[in-house]
Amino acid sequence: DTEVTQTPKHLVMGMTNKKSLKCEQHMGHRAMYWYKQKAKKPPELMFVYSYEKLSINESVPSRFSPECPNSSLLNLHLHALQPEDSALYLCASSQHSTGGTEAFFGQGTRLTVV
Amino acid sequence: GENVEQHPSTLSVQEGDSAVIKCTYSDSASNYFPWYKQELGKRPQLIIDIRSNVGEKKDQRIAVTLNKTAKHFSLHITETQPEDSAVYFCAAMGSNYKLTFGKGTLLTVNP
């Protein structure tokens, strides 16, 4: 299984809603990532989890709250988002290796904030 | 932090021609350099990667070269086909597992 699975595929939420994005992988990867991608732009790193611990937070606003309940799951909790937060949210995972390894991306959640 | 520059931003070639995309990076500690292809509405997919202890790597019509001294790496696609049309991203990863992307190149292969 070389898949990273994200749910839901599409999400429309109001600015007062609370929602969660979910990501799952069963490749035994111990590094997991959240990226945000706006149209015609590269993926922009938000968070990195290493062995289920948050290792990088790229100064992301607190209305985005990541969670890594176990080595296979990664969540992104959303609260009080703004319309400019509308984007494709990509989850990725990779092995831990000092030489660097391939990051496998999920198909993404397309989020629209209204 | 790492900064990755990618050129050109758009590239149009005729089917059968070669395409070259170039990237530079700033952090000498970066040691892994993947290239991703992203078709419209789809996820980025790895097409080739290279590690810092290797100067060149080839996989059929795709090759990547790395010059660590100059801190630049390039993607070469030969005998381009219409299905090669997509956005291509270079990236660099350091020891903290942070993957930094270039701004992307929109490649159009005209039949």
| Residue contact B89–A99, C-beta within 8 A | no
pLDDT for B61: 97
Q: In whole angstroms, how far apart are CA B74 and each of A3, A22, B56, B58?
A: 28, 35, 10, 12
Place of tokens 């030489």: A99
pLDDT at A1: 61
Residues of B in contact with A40 (CB under 8 A): 104
- Residues of chain B with Cβ-Cβ distance to A56 below 8 Å are 96-98
Tens digit of each residue's pLDDT, chain B (111 residues): 889 999 999 999 999 999 999 999 999 989 999 999 999 989 999 999 998 888 999 999 999 999 999 999 999 999 999 999 999 999 998 777 788 999 999 999 999
DSSP notation for chain B: ---EEEE-SEEEEETTS-EEEEEEE--TT--EEEEEEE-TTS--EEEEEEETT-SEEEETTEEEEEETTTTEEEEEE-S--GGG-EEEEEEEE-TT--EEE---EEEEEE-
Give the number of other CB atoms < 10 A from CB of residue B14. 9
By residue count, chain B amounts to: 111
At position B80, the amino acid (one-letter code) is: T
- Give residue for tokens 């050129």: B7
Check if the beta carbon of residue A59 is closer than 8 Å to that of residue A39: no
Give the Cα-Cα-Cα angle B102, A71, A99 (nearest 5 degrees): 45
- Judged by CB atoms closer than 8 Å, whether chains meet at A55 and B102 is answered as no
DSSP character at residue A41 = S
B interface test, pick of A101, A107, A109 with most B CB neighbours within 10 Å:
A101
- Which mean pLDDT values do the consecutive 10-residue runs of chain A (114 residues) have? 89 95 94 94 94 93 97 96 97 79 92 96
Q: Do B49 and A102 touch (CB under 8 A)?
A: yes
